[in-house]
Amino acid sequence: MPKGLPAGPYEVMFFLALKDGRAYGYELATRFKKMTRGHITFSFGTIYPFLRRMERRGIIKSSREIRSGRVYYALTPKGRTAQKRVFKQIKKSQKEWEEKLLGILAMNAEVFGRRALHDLLERAKLLTKTSR
């Protein structure tokens, strides 16, 4: 894993999605979509294997709600500790994240041209105007 990015993007999104408490799989997918303003979506073929891996690592615990049959996922004490660590590391590495993003934008301009980059940046401006 690159220096300064100790958690992968899925883990970061996962911890952000669970910061307000437990959730079931579809709810997590909805939170991911909302968090990324619809630019990143996840299939259930991606989410559930990821959740199983996180549970095997002791980060989350699943429980089935009898009434609805939904399986909810909540952070364990180990998971809350990991969440705090990831959030702290993200804040410390903000500049590195920004540099990587700038590198991706530079590659976009190289591959698709300056006009495409300009159009992309105009779309990005909308992110700051849209409420969560």
Q: How confident is residue 5, by pLDDT bands cut at 50, 70 and 90? A: very low
Q: How far apart are CA 122 and CA 132, in angstroms?
A: 19
What's the pLDDT at 2? 35
**Are 5 and 68 contained in the same domain?**
yes
Q: How many domains does the chain have?
A: 2
- Is residue 61 within 8 A of residue 73, CB to CB? The reply is yes
Give me the long-range contacts of 43-48 (CB less than 8 A, separation at least 24). Answer: none
Residue 106 pLDDT grade (very low, low, confident, very high; cuts 50, 70, 90): very high
Are 33 and 40 in contact, with CB atoms under 8 Å apart?
A: yes
Residue 78 and residue 127 in one domain: no
Structural domain including 128 reads 94-132
Same domain, 56 and 4: yes
Query: Is 67 found in the same domain as 52?
Result: yes
List pLDDT tens digits, range 53-95.
999 999 999 999 999 999 999 999 999 999 999 999 888 888 8
* Cβ–Cβ under 8 Å, residues 33 and 17: no
- 3 pLDDT band, cuts 50/70/90, is very low
Our measurement of the distance from residue 73's CA atom to the centroid of its chain's CA atoms, rounded to an integer in Å, reads 16
Q: With contact defined as beta carbons under 8 Å apart, do 72 and 62 qualify?
A: yes
Statement to judge: residues 15 and 73 lie in one domain? yes
Q: What DSSP string describes 54-79?
A: HHHTTSEEEEE-TTT-PEEEEE-HHH
| 85, 101: one domain | no
pLDDT band at 4 (very low <50, low <70, confident <90, very high): very low
pLDDT at residue number 46: 83
Q: What per-residue confidence (pLDDT) applies to 130?
A: 61
Q: Which residue has the higher pLDDT, 54 or 130?
A: 54
pLDDT of residue 7: 60
pLDDT at 72: 96
- Better-scored residue on pLDDT, 6 or 46: 46
Q: Looking at the structure, do residues 29 and 74 belong to the same domain, yes or no?
A: yes
Q: Tell me which residue has tokens 């991911």.
A: 32
Residue 131: the pLDDT is 52
Both 104 and 131 in one domain: the answer is yes
CATH code of the domain covering residue 38:
1.10.10.10
